[in-house]
Structure 1
């Protein structure tokens, strides 16, 4: 009891506070110890740990008995220890007051992102142990977060994703018609907070009204002893307008926003976190039609003028020195129109010629065509042909006539 009253504070502090870490970085901090009186210490050590754990139970009935199978798996990512006060067989006396013991750990290059799931987790923590004579070990623990970067500015994650599916709707052995869907998204990689524009076409050739839906699905996969346990959840969804029988619906970039979710985990051996965009057609009286497009939720957002441009330019490297040979460093500005054409010439060029001056040239058909369209505005754009072909020109001639 005497030892407990002498320790006012025993804690771990990190230099970066709650900021996340990544593989290869330095993890530095200090052990803080406040004592009211002189304290005898044998040793003080701090360790850094990182562990992925997968665990679940499965029950199976055998006769009148229920047998439970335990599935557990571990994968260690970090196991380092540092002695701050070494045990040399002698007691170290710390005077009353505030004491700080700094430490530094080099994190491994490859780590898995921190994660908390239903059947497993990836956790990182620091633990300090204070050994005293004739007293229990004093412990302090502090967790920290690791987020491994996933750059979506890579060719694999910038590639568009597309797919198509169709389904024959049946109810009580009656053919209700066919439903087909084709969908496309701009790329595979996105970051939280971005909007996914969905381009889709849904053809409802059934006799029922169908409802299209889209959702982002998170799939957590836990692996232990050669078996898998999955948990799927919807993180965001939208519902489209109902499509009547025999009609078609087109989505011109229907927006689906990604909420704040954790990034994909693809490198861990026992825990995977994957995402997918699932487009669903709800057909009354029969099963739904699903179309799934893979997604990767990253941590480094898209740089439209950065890595993508550089990656494209690196693939198509062309020597353009010959283009610069004819270009001066400071090109001369073009002259003003008024300095080239005088005022009298300008008025003369914009006014129609007098009949006396152009008595000879007004006779030609080419000048008449120019005069007709010279002072008229350009025609308005229209997709309807203003001069449709006549029936006489479209009717084929009889070869016998």
Structure 2
């Protein structure tokens, strides 16, 4: 480092994680081996976002800056041989996004220091990043209470196009918002109105990050995948599965105009090829389900003169153990159930539309795979995590 033996930034109490509205304070330490003439010594605190269309490229195509504050800690003069300390303090704005780093961009916060020397001498600079955590309270997300549900009906041909069949696929999650460690409870119903056994049913937790470059770049990742067996010809079945939410970054990058993060549960059949998405939110503060229950009106008691028997429900399999991205198959065996009384089944179409472009890179999940598909194909997977779970057939 030439004349400098030390040029380092230290944060007060070695703190490296901050929240919006906090003060970042610390000390710039300089140790010189000999006297050093300088024009200015400055410390800068900066928060910015940069995105690109090339993977792991730091030559940003588009940037946005959230704040940049500069403090001059010493004017023109001479740093004598020895140790020197310059304290600094910056206030972080109250409305800025959480830190993030992905394949095609990052949201970064850092403190930098500069020593401007004379015209023909070497300038010096150093920097130290810090992490900003902006918590997402799921209770502040609009329409967060209740399940996320969807359904689709598909007509298909088989036996070389000689015969036609229909499959009805319905699914719902118990909630719309989760925090890491919570369990997503999925209920899926398959009504196979054909003479052919369906392929396996698959549920995937998918993460999508959109980077807003000139042509938006989409980065997808399958985080968790679980599977159940197919449904025999002219049978119905209900599949219940649970997925433990792994450590994930929060949904949405509030106050960031260049990066957007979303999460979905994709429900699909491998044959016939049919799928849809259940949008969910991942946050830091869990949904208060008690307040939602208190706000619901009490159930009405039906008039006995006009009451009718409730339609029979599909029997379901024994509850499986929660599934995380590294868990094995459940040990609970399915049990058969009787077919309910026949009832008319209306033709249903997708009630939750798929996003126009399919989820993001996590540094703790190694097998990210970007895709250019406009929709999420049902066979898409970057994970080899089969979770053998049988369905309960209805005799």
* TM-score of Structure 1 vs Structure 2, range by shorter chain: 0.5 to 0.7
Q: Closer, same or farther in 2 for the Cα pair 1:84/1:294, shift >3 Å?
A: same
Could you say which residue in structure 1 is the equivalent of 2:393? none
CA distance in 2, matches of 1:245, 1:100: 78
Contact kept in structure 1, 2:35 and 2:78, CA below 8 Å = no
The answer on 1:127 being equivalent to 2:112 is yes
Higher RCO (CA < 8 A, seq sep 6+) = 2
Could you say which residue in structure 1 is the equivalent of 2:235? 247
Correspondent of 2:250 among 263, 268, 288:
263
The alpha carbon displacement at 1:54 in A equals 2.1
CA distance in 2, matches of 1:230, 1:113: 20
CA distance in 2, matches of 1:314, 1:25: 35
The alpha carbon displacement at 1:234 in A equals 0.5
Could you say which residue in structure 2 is the equivalent of 1:177? 165
The answer on 1:30 being equivalent to 2:27 is yes
Segments of structure 2 that go 5 or more residues without pairing to the other structure are 298-395
The alpha carbon displacement at 1:170 in A equals 2.2
Could you say which residue in structure 1 is the equivalent of 2:7? 10
State the number of aligned residues.
289
Q: Closer, same or farther in 2 for the Cα pair 1:175/1:15, shift >3 Å?
A: farther
Q: Closer, same or farther in 2 for the Cα pair 1:248/1:300, shift >3 Å?
A: same
Q: Closer, same or farther in 2 for the Cα pair 1:314/1:40, shift >3 Å?
A: farther
Cα deviations by residue, 1:105-130 (Å, 9 ceiling, x for unpaired)? 11112212222222222222221112
Correspondent of 1:140 among 123, 126, 131:
126
CA distance in 2, matches of 1:41, 1:297: 50
Could you say which residue in structure 2 is the equivalent of 1:223? 212
CA distance in 2, matches of 1:159, 1:14: 44
The alpha carbon displacement at 1:42 in A equals 3.1
The answer on 1:197 being equivalent to 2:197 is no
Deviates more, 1:162-171 or 1:34-43: 34-43
Could you say which residue in structure 2 is the equivalent of 1:46? 43
Cα deviations by residue, 1:21-52 (Å, 9 ceiling, x for unpaired)? 23222122221222344444432111122221
The alpha carbon displacement at 1:198 in A equals 0.6
Contact kept in structure 1, 2:136 and 2:283, CA below 8 Å = yes
Contact kept in structure 1, 2:266 and 2:278, CA below 8 Å = yes
Query: Hey, which of these two has a bigger chunk of helix by percent?
Result: 1
Q: Closer, same or farther in 2 for the Cα pair 1:94/1:176, shift >3 Å?
A: farther
SS at match of 1:153: helix
Q: Closer, same or farther in 2 for the Cα pair 1:185/1:36, shift >3 Å?
A: same
Contact kept in structure 2, 1:48 and 1:126, CA below 8 Å = yes
Deviates more, 1:198-207 or 1:168-177: 168-177
Q: Closer, same or farther in 2 for the Cα pair 1:50/1:175, shift >3 Å?
A: farther
What TM-score results when the alignment is normalised by the length of structure 1? 0.65
SS at match of 2:212: strand
Could you say which residue in structure 2 is the equivalent of 1:73? 62
Q: Closer, same or farther in 2 for the Cα pair 1:93/1:54, shift >3 Å?
A: closer
Could you say which residue in structure 2 is the equivalent of 1:357? none
Q: Closer, same or farther in 2 for the Cα pair 1:71/1:7, shift >3 Å?
A: closer
The alpha carbon displacement at 1:314 in A equals 8.7
Contact kept in structure 1, 2:112 and 2:126, CA below 8 Å = yes
Segments of structure 1 that go 5 or more residues without pairing to the other structure are 58-69, 317-401
Could you say which residue in structure 2 is the equivalent of 1:159? 146
Contact kept in structure 2, 1:161 and 1:293, CA below 8 Å = yes
Bigger radius of gyration among the two: 1
User: How does 1:2-401 map onto structure 2 within 5 Å?
Assistant: 4-15=1-12, 17=14, 19-56=16-53, 72-87=61-76, 91-97=77-83, 99-133=84-118, 134-154=120-140, 156-171=143-158, 172-206=160-194, 207-225=196-214, 227-252=215-240, 254-267=241-254, 268-283=256-271, 286=272, 288-302=273-287, 309=291
The alpha carbon displacement at 1:104 in A equals 1.2
The alpha carbon displacement at 1:166 in A equals 1.5
